[in-house]
Structure formats: structure tokens, C-alpha cells
A and B are shown apart, each in its own frame.
Chain A
Amino acid sequence: MSEYLILIYADETAPVTTEDQQQVHKGHMEFGQNNGPSLRGGNALHGTETATSIRPDGSGGFSVTDGAFAETKEALGGYYLVEADDLDGAIALAKQVPMPNGGVEVRPIRVIDFS
């Protein structure tokens, strides 16, 4: 068993109706109900207009700026942390995540041995 992060990306500028929103909400509820035992966590994020990026400024301090770390058409909007046997299992879970106006990315969680 391994853990994977499913990152949900969507175009924030795409018009979304209340019905669309309800549909997506329902989709996430179903995803949770159908895959409870595999879920280790997950959250929705506020939009990138609320994001703040922090980078070292090169002289010992930090530059704090408004906006997402990378300017892309599709922005990270939420995530699930899931457990699966292997990548095929993680992909099967990922395909069930609602993904209007975008898609999802699956990344294996790296286990770092500090011993």
C-alpha cells in the first residue's frame, strides 16, 4: 500500500452556475462515500486570488507576493490524499474525482526515512 496525492486543477475563469456547483459538490460527496476506506484526507482550497507566495529574496530575507506560485490557466483547487496498492489503483480513484474545467494529477507520496 502506498499513498498518493490527487491534485485537482481547474480553470478558475470558466463560468460556473449554481447548478454546476451543486453537481460538483454532489460528486465529491459520492466520491467520499464510495471510497471511504482509501481516503486519508482532502480539502478544497479558496481561489488563487486569495493565494500568497513566499520566496527567499536572495539576501537572507523573503519576498512575499500576492498570487499563486505558478501562473497557469488551470489552478490547484483542492486535493485528496489517498491510499492505493499501486499506480493503477490510484488512477482508478483519480478517475472518480469530479474534474470540471480541468483535470487531476496523481503524485506518489515520498516516504523519507529519517532514521
Chain B
Amino acid sequence: MTARVDPAVAEAVADAHRREWAYVLAATVRVTRDLDLAEECVQDAYTRALVTWTAGSPPANPGAWLTTVARRRALDLARRRATARRALPLLVEDAIVAPPAAPGEAGIPDDRLRLVFTCCHPALGADARVALTLRMMCGLSTAEVARAFLVTEATMAARITRAKKKIIAARIPYREPPPEELPERVSAVLDVVHLLFSTGHAPPAGDRLVRADLVSSALDLATMLRDLLPGHAEVTGLLALVLLTDARREARLREGRLVLLADQDRTLWDRRAITTGTALVREALRGGRPGRFTLMAAIAAVHDEAPTYADTDWREIVALYDLLARVWPSPVVALNRAVALGFALGPSEGLAALDVLAADPRLAGYGYLPAARADLLARTGDTGAARLAYQEALLLTENTVERAFLADRLAALSP
């Protein structure tokens, strides 16, 4: 772009990008019935905003402004390309008589749920769902999505293209699922957001301990879903989980090193996030039999509410893990439960619970298992065995910051 853009305008446009991208795109897809064309038009609208908006007086409703511009561009392009595009297949919308989406502020239908259910359709591969969600719901470029998942841009572009091709060829509909399918489909969407959050909160590889970009995308999505699906306890639970876990971000790192919950400076925790998150957990728990994310959030809330580590209510945490293991039986949940047991009842009880898990083939190669063992062994005074377990954990951990943490723990063992 040659024109100089006022920094205040650039900021207003960036803000609208973060807040309104999904809304504008979803409303434009309704007109184009073609994801690629809609993306192109929305991108154009944001570029137009940069040169059209004036400092101090951006449009009163940026989302409506951008949608109007994007849709006009879409109609324009559609006319110009009419002959070339006529033969191309379009997205499938509702079967003939479906009620239109409820109009938003400016009378533009809020189609974000259609968009997110299309991106997270179970017929798409797990990788593709995450990539499409970041692209379509968060407005990330292919290069940014590629960086988020540590793959090349070409690989990511191919993945996104393949997914879009399947949406068209197999006719994955641009539609909110019927009520009887809703729980299953909502859960598929939540899995995508949770995966994004965990990848950002504890990157499995690389040299950073937190990927703030992914965490903030996950938080934006969780907040958006809570607005769109207010009656779903697990949606509320997931937003609470993200808030309550991320509230400790500032305290988790000191000089590039991981700080254990036990050693964190709790004054650095984000109190506002904790207050909001805790209220959301309470609300989610009122929604009947609590689901996976609600229980995980409840566990995070127990930690967040303890004034000091010594004050942690470990028995409550063990009880919550027991409930979690029932709705979400996973070896990782069992591992965390064993660690909590080690605090509630003592390290030898924790070790006994871990020994049961050691035989689980799904935990073979999982670095947190020997790390947890090492910690419990050190607390029983068995330094030799603890040393071996830390060494094993080091062999299995690829994140640089976590490796430094384990090396510190190993060095701190008395000789």
C-alpha cells in the first residue's frame, strides 16, 4: 500500500479484525456460498477500511461497515466472474425452508455458528479443523497458521485447500446442526478450541513455554462460543478453564524458566480472570452432570482460590479428578489424579497410584510420568531413584524450557 495509514486508523482496523472477522466472513459466505471468494472479499474490505476510515471517527458499527463492503464486492465479483464460475459447485445451505439466522445489530444475520460448525465438521480431519478454524474464525493468514503448528506454509496451504475441497465435493453443509446432533457437534467445536489452548499453553515442542498468540485465539473463540451458545454448560466450562489456567501465565515463567505451581508468586496471578472464571465454573456446575471441561475448570479454580500452595484443598482436587475420570477416562487424567493423591494422602500413596499407571502402554514415552514419579520419589527421600526418573523424563521431553526445568530439579537433588 502506498498511502500512509494513520496509526489510530490502523489500530481501529486491527481491532475490528480481531473482533469482527468471523462475523463479517460468515455473513459474506452467505452471499458468495464460496469460502475462498468470501475470504478474498473480506480481506478487500479490511484493506478498504485502512484507506477509508478516518482517525477519530471510525464507523459506529465497524462489523456492519465491513460486511456491507465485503458483500458488495462479492456481488460485483460474482457478476464479473459469472460466466467462468457458473459451472463451479457452491456450498450447500439449508434445505429450502430454514429460518434465517437472527439478525444482528445492523440487520445482518449472525452466521458465525454456521461457519464454526462447518470448520469443525467431524468429517474433516482433526488438523484441518484446527487450521480452518484459525483461518476462518480468527482471520489468521495461512503463514500464521503454519507457524502456529510448526509446519511449512506450503504444507499448511495444502491442508487447507484439501479441506475446502472436501467441503465442496462431499457437500458438507453451511448450517447449524439440528438439535439432536447439537451436543456431539458442539463437543467437536470445543475440542478444537481446547486443542488450540493446550498447544498455546504448553507447546509440545519448540523453545517457548507459552504461545501467547494461540492462547489469545483460543480465548477469543471460547468467548465467542459462550456468546453464541449461552445455554451449553460445557461451552461455559471451557471458557472458565481457559481463563482460570491462563490467569497464572505471568507467574509460570521466570527468566525463561518454568515455575511450578508450588513456587509461583501468586500476586502475579490475574485476579480479574480468576473472578470471572470462578463465576463461570459455578454457573457451568449448575447445568446438571458436569462435563470434561467444567470439571477441569473446577480443578483449576480450586488451585486459583488457594492463597498459598500449602492451602490447596487436595482432597477436593482428588474428588474432582475422580469425577473427571468417569466422564473422560484417560491415562493423563489418572496421572494427574495420582499426583494430587500424593499431596492429599502422602507421596507413597501417590507412588502406588503411579505404579498402576506405569504399565499403561498409552503413557509409554510420556515425559510427565517419570517427572511426576521423580518428584514423589524425591519427597520420600529416595534420591537415587528420583535421579533416574528425572533422567528418564529428560530423555522424553522436547520442549527446551521444560528440559531446563527438569535439569534444575535433577541438579537440586541432594547427592
Chain A contact residues, CB within 8 Å of chain B: 2, 85-88, 91, 106, 108, 110, 113
CB distance from A5 to the nearest CB of B (A): 12
Report how far A91 CA is from B178 CA in the complex, Å. 14
> What 1/0 mask marks residues of chain B from 107 to 127 whose CB sits below 8 Å from any chain A CB?
000000000000001010000
Cα A23 to Cα B285 with chains together (Å):
43
6 extra A-B contacts, CB within 8 A, seeds A87-B172, A88-B181: A85-B92, A86-B173, A87-B123, A87-B170, A88-B172, A108-B170
- Are the C-beta atoms of A87 and B87 separated by less than 8 Å? no
Least CB separation from A113: chain B residue: B87
- Complex Cα distance, B94 from A85, in Å, reads 9
The winner among A87, A91, A106, A108 for most chain B CB atoms within 10 A is A87
Which of B123, B169, B173 sits near A110, CB closer than 8 Å?
B169
Residues of B within 8 A of A88 (CB): 172-173, 175, 177, 181
Residues from chain A with Cβ under 8 Å of B162 in the complex: none
State in angstroms the CA–CA spacing of A106 and B170 once bound together. Answer: 9
Would you mind naming 25 contact pairs between A and B with Cβ atoms under 8 Å apart? Answer: A2-B171, A85-B92, A85-B95, A85-B171, A85-B173, A86-B92, A86-B95, A86-B171, A86-B172, A86-B173, A86-B175, A87-B121, A87-B123, A87-B170, A87-B171, A87-B172, A88-B172, A88-B173, A88-B175, A88-B177, A106-B170, A108-B169, A108-B170, A108-B171, A113-B87
> Which residues 100-143 in B have Cβ within 8 Å of A in the complex?
121, 123
Output the nearest chain A residue to B87 by Cβ-Cβ distance: A113
Residue of A nearest to B123 (CB): A87
- Give complex CA distance A113, B88 in Å: 11
**Cα distance A3–B169 when bound, in Å?**
11
